[in-house]
Structure 1
Amino acid sequence: MCRAHIKEKDEYNDISQILERPGRYQAWQYFLACVPAIFVSMISVNFVFVAGDVNYRCRVPECDSKEPVLSPTWWPNPDIDRCYRPLIKHTSLSSICTNDSFVNTTEKCSDWVYENNDTIVAELNLACEPWKVSFVGTAHGIGMIISMLASGWMCDRFGRKPTLIVCTLGCLIGNFKVLATSYNVYIVLEFLEGAITTGAYTAATVIMSENSSKKTRIVAGVLFAYAIYMGEAVLACIAMFVSNWKNILYIICSPPILFTFNIFFLNESPRWQILNGRIKEAKESLKRMVKMNNLGIEPQVIDRISEENLKNVFGLNNNVTSEGFREVIRSKEIMKRLVAGVVWRLAVSFIYYSMLVNSVFLPGDKYTTFLMTALASFPGELISIYLMNKIGRRKPLQCGFLLCGINCIAIAFVPPSFRWIKITLFLIGKLIVSAIYTGSVVYTVELFPTSVRGSCIGICTLASCGGTMLAPLTPALDLVSPVLGAFIYAFLAITASALFFITPETRDSTLYDTIEQITISSHTRKQQKKHENNSQS
């Protein structure tokens, strides 16, 4: 009997190390989660080029031919506002227009001549209606908010895997946008695209984190961030060589049909399976993990482990009940973390995308500057990996927010004549905020228990979407004051930095699975700190 007990204990210890010994299984699952994120990233910002501006002028029916050109020889003044047309002299009897055929007054027009049909501005006749063009991105952002609300609940209710597959297949909606013949139809499709696809961010983040060891969680977060940056960079490269908006959408929205095969290749999180009573499925997931990682554990060992021991391996309470928003609201510790997570994600997203939007004001071609901002993010992830594994989560993120705010103020006060200094500071700021972005995503995932992780991360990502929606408005702040935007960034960054004082360090800690575990851990930490203070006094 003693030998049987020792054998059972050894088998228990072997299984408890499965997640802490990552290998090919984790690499494969990361790949399956990150590739869809590349396409979702491209789709999330495609409106920058698809709804980009084109040159146009008012049509003059008395002078324009059936195939008008943008810059005719008879156009009287190149400084005429493109929303106004010059008026013809009533005394002019010639059928051929010249520079002298017009009076010195203009009137607002309702028909235009476009340089090309490369964007929806020409295709949907959106000349002189900038608010409609801007609302394309806003409509996508509103859809993102809906997606964040729904996807978190879907992750907890139906699982991480089905949520990721459904959301990534929503990328196919972009193929229908090319068929839109009216602005309203296009806006509806843009909204639906954002409402479905963006949930892939939540699902992929959670499934990658829950399939990671303590040491590789930060690596998983960095890889996911790289996928997003890669999507932005690839989109810029595609737009450089493919000018027509319909072709751009076909290229980025058609391949996601292949993500249907994730039904067979992507595996569900064992944590979620165990928490939802799917013990048999969880054991099969662990067997695949053992086989791919060559861990040397026999399948029979996993089959023999009891449900009680399996839950203990993952730190689950056998008597745990389903937890939701009601339990979240009742827990002061979870609410404290949730508020902090919301502020962090709002601030970093607002600053990140504000820099992305304002990158077009850097000297040079807009495609090149957009590509530069995407590439500047990559080194930030290496810094994030090193500091967060070497020092921890809290201190690097806290200092990073402060440095980011200082950098943004410095950029605002550098005179335009110091062009290269301004560009250098801009790219350094983009690097810092990229590192913070990844770190804040990883840190917020580690702060919440498995039972409500999807829902809480969904709320935090919802706040991130709010920052994304507000970012396009920042260029208008320059009309009020050239430094107003910088002070807003600094205020958000300092506020976010201060909130790290109320949350714990999570480096090398296990992922908790219930709110009760979080509460006990918080109480124990407070008692230890109180004891240390008493000892010092």
Structure 2
Amino acid sequence: MAVYKSNQSNETPICDTMERLGKFQRIQYVFSFVATLLVTITHINYVFVAGELNYRCRVPECDELNKEYSPIWWPNNTIDKCLKPILRTDVGPTCNNDSFTDDYEDCKEWIYESNETVIADLNLGCQPWKVNMIGTTHSIGLLLAMIVSGWLMDRFGRKPMFIFCLVGSCIGHLKAFTKNYYIYVLIELIEAVITGGAYTAVSVLMMEIGGKKTRLLAGVIFAFGIYMGESVFAAMAFFVPYWKSLLKVIYTPPIFILSYVYFLKESPRWQIVNGKTDLAKETLLLISETNNVNINKDELLSMSGEDLKKEFKIENCQQKETFRDAMKSKEIVKRLVIGSYARFAACFVYYGLLINSVSLPGNKYTNFFLSSVMSYPGDIMALYLMNNVGRKITLVYGYIICGLLCIASVCFPDDYTWVNTAFFLVSKMVVSGCFIGIVTYTIELYPTSVRGTLIGISALTASIGNILAPLTPIMKTFSPILTSLTFGGLSIVAGLLLTMTPETKDSALVDTVEQVDREINLQESTKKEKMKGQINESYVSNEEV
């Protein structure tokens, strides 16, 4: 065994090895940022790959020789693209504007303006439900992935799930070779199921390799990876509009994530909790050497698995905790329900606002890009407030303010366009901060032993919000204010529920369910003793009087 010299006067406790933000965390955060960017692009591929396309009905008698989208012989009157104009019986060999009657019939074939999206190649004209089903199927796949990804991450580790999900996204290449709609949708579903656990694995790993001061920074970097992925994807689609070429650009880079087998490191906390003592020691030594943290290396190497768990305040060493153990704790159940609802509300409102932004005038690529850019100031604001004020209070006020802004946006007449636009942009900025803030907060609320499973459940509820968000424009057919009122109501309820959860700023990550219950019991006992003391003081004061 190697013997290391230690400077006793400037020695850092082993349990604080990861507290300092150093070169190790920066390198791992860069790897995680790149991976988040790549997986985000795959998750939103259908926005442009299956984007809307202009088309018209094909008239076989007139389209035999030249199949143009805007022919000079097309009738002058406006015709629904799902209807076919009927020719007169006395039409000559050449069609012109007067060759048609005023009657129409259902269209069976279409002429597309271009083949930039799958609508043309899969012949999805006048079948909007099929087009929308591509994105919905992807969201359903993500939801299915959330059901098992958390458990797999707790069982096999953060790093293996991280790499598997990213590299598995390469299956998306197969979509470029299919001519059948149902096969295309099946590949979309399989791709989403494989990649769906990536967000959870990346975010949890980033949190667990840092200290109390860096957890929120890790969450913001993770969120920036998502927003940057959205922005980069808009640029990709602008310069590579043809969907098959765009798929190649999207799904080729993730193959290089295989190199992460050598560069990415596993979470030491997961290694300790799961009895990977030797691997945990290697990781902790690497962190201390990379960050120039002076720890007693000989002491670390001589520690047993039990000693390491005690050093990092990881208790309940004898038995691994399961999801069933977590569900026996009222406090864990309360945190899970509130955290899951808050993530659902953030996801639903975030993507709902993003989807409804298409009604804004301008180029679709530019609008999508600007919607993504608006998320950056929200995250920067969340980073500052959650680090300096607190996680809980920032999220409580953030959700409530977002809800009030959404409701206020329907209180002004349509003539005040600039006011409504301002409310939209500020709402988008605020909900962006809540969107990433609640991810960081829920990770801190759940214990390490079942964190992956509980985060997976919370991510699953967030995916439900992602599935429902595309339906929000339909709500405007019932009432023009219903969508905004729904966004506002959900946000305010989330803010009120979060008042029932604890503050986690500057707190160490909890590792076991038993530890959470013991802390809650201690807090309740302290509160009762304090109240009892106040009652006794009041009684004594009355006696003296």
Work out whether the TM-score is over 0.5.
yes
SS of the aligned residue for 1:308 comes to helix
- In 2, the alpha carbon distance for the partners of 1:278 and 1:257 equals 28
- C-alpha change, 1:408 and 1:266, in structure 2 (3 Å) is same
1:389 aligned to 377, 387, 390, which one?
A: 387
**CA distance in structure 2 between the partners assigned to 1:252 and 1:317 by the alignment:** 44
Specify the code of the residue in structure 2 equivalent to 1:513: D
The residue identity in structure 2 corresponding to 1:326 is R
AA paired with 1:419? T
Cα distance in 2 for partners of 1:507, 1:206 equals 17
Q: Which moved more, 1:166-175 or 1:214-223?
A: 166-175
In structure 2, C-alpha distance between the alignment counterparts of 1:496 and 1:184, rounded to whole Å: 38
- Does structure 1 retain, via aligned residues, the 8 Å contact 2:88–2:99? yes
Pairs aligned (count): 530
Unpaired runs of 5+ in structure 2? 1-5, 536-545
Q: Is the 8 A contact 1:167 1:196 kept in 2?
A: yes
Asked if 2 retains the 8 angstrom alpha-carbon contact of 1:308 and 1:318, the reply is no
Task: Give the match for residue 259 of structure 1.
Answer: 257
Indicate the SS of the match to 2:86.
strand
Q: Which residue of 1 aligns with 2:78?
A: 79
Alignment check: 8 A CA contact 2:11 2:295 kept: no
Aligned-residue offset at 1:482: 0.6
Structure 2 CA distance, aligned partners of 1:49 and 1:165?
A: 26
Q: What is the distance in 1 between the residues matched to 2:411 and 2:367? A: 21
Aligned to 1:208: 206
Matched, 1:178 2:190: no
> In structure 1, what is the equivalent of residue 405 of structure 2?
407
2:126 alignment partner in structure 1: 128
Q: Give the secondary structure class of the aligned counterpart of 1:412.
A: coil
Contact 2:316 2:512 (C-alpha < 8 Å) held by counterparts: no
Give the partner amino acid of 1:397.
Answer: L
Between the aligned partners of 2:305 and 2:170, the Cα distance in structure 1 is 41
Deviation per CA, 1:287-319: give whole Å up to 9, x if none. 110111011346434212343331122111263
Measured against aligned partners, the alpha-carbon deviations of 1:208-266 in whole angstroms (never above 9, x if no partner) come to 11111001100000000000010011111111222111121111110110000110011
SS in 1 for 2:213: coil
Equivalent residue for 2:517, pick from 493, 516, 519: 519
* Matched residue SS, 1:413: coil
SS in 2 for 1:19: coil
Query: Which position in structure 1 is the counterpart of 2:435?
Result: 437
Q: SS where residue 505 of structure 1 aligns?
A: coil
Aligned to 1:105: 103
The answer for the alignment partner of 1:42 in structure 2 is 41
1:332-354: per-residue Cα shift (whole Å, max 9, x none)? 11101000011001000000000
3-state DSSP of counterpart to 2:104? strand
- Bigger shift: residues 522-531 or 231-240: 522-531
Residue 133 of structure 1: how far off its partner (Å): 0.4
SS at 2:321 equivalent: coil
Report the CA distance between 1:14 and its aligned residue. Answer: 2.7
In the alignment, which residue of structure 2 is the partner of 1:3? none
Task: Provide the C-alpha distance between the structure 2 equivalents of 1:62 and 1:306, rounded to a whole number of angstroms.
Answer: 84
Q: Secondary structure of the equivalent of 1:464?
A: helix
The answer to whether the 8 A contact 2:10-2:294 is kept is no
Give the Cα–Cα distance (whole angstroms) in 2 for the partners of residues 319 and 65 of structure 1. 77
8 Å contact 2:14–2:300 — kept in the other structure? Answer: yes
Which residue of the partner structure matches residue 60 of structure 1?
A: 59
SS of alignment partner, residue 13 of structure 2: helix
Moved more, 527-536 or 464-473: 527-536
Question: Which shifted more, 246-255 or 444-453?
Answer: 246-255
- In structure 1, runs of 5+ residues without a counterpart are 1-6
Mapped to 1, the partners of 2:60 and 2:379 lie a distance apart of 56
CA deviation string 1:95-120 (max 9, x = no partner): 00111111110000110000000000
Is the 8 Å Cα contact of residues 12 and 305 (structure 1) preserved in structure 2?
A: no
Q: Give me the whole-angstrom Cα distance separating, in 2, the residues matched to 1:241 and 1:184.
A: 28
Matched residues in 2 for 1:224 and 1:320: separation?
A: 34
- Percent identical among aligned pairs is 45
Distance 2:235 2:390 in 1: 36
Cα deviation per residue 1:442-498 (whole Å; 9 max; x = unaligned)?
Answer: 000000100000000000000110000000001111111011111111221121112
Superposed displacement of residue 330, structure 1: 1.1
1:339-418 paired onto structure 2 within 5 Å: 339-418=337-416
The change in CA–CA distance for 1:156 and 1:482 in structure 2 (over 3 A counts) is: same
Which deviations, in whole Å up to 9, do the C-alpha atoms of 1:410-466 show, x marking residues without a partner? 223333333332222211111100000111000000001000000000000001100
Question: Higher mean Cα deviation, 199-208 or 489-498?
Answer: 489-498
1:91 matches 2:90: yes
Residue matched to 2:136:
138
State the superposition RMSD in angstroms: 1.7
Q: What amino acid maps onto 1:163 in structure 2?
A: M
2:538 matched residue in structure 1 = none
Provide the residue aligned with 1:15 in structure 2.
Answer: 14
Bigger shift: residues 299-308 or 471-480? 299-308
- TM-score after normalising by structure 2: 0.94
TM-score norm. by structure 1 comes to 0.96
466-475 vs 324-333, greater mean Cα deviation: 324-333
Paired position in structure 1 for 2:334? 336
1:280 deviates by 0.4
| d(CA) in 1 for partners of 2:249, 2:331 | 46
Aligned partners of 1:218 and 1:385 also within 8 Å: yes
Specify the alignment match of 2:479 in structure 1: 481
- Report the Cα distance in structure 2 between the residues aligned to 1:384 and 1:377, rounded to whole angstroms: 11
Structure 1 residue 27, shift from structure 2 partner: 0.9
**Deviations along 1:64-110, whole A, 9 cap, x unmatched?**
13331111111113410000110011133x10011111111000011
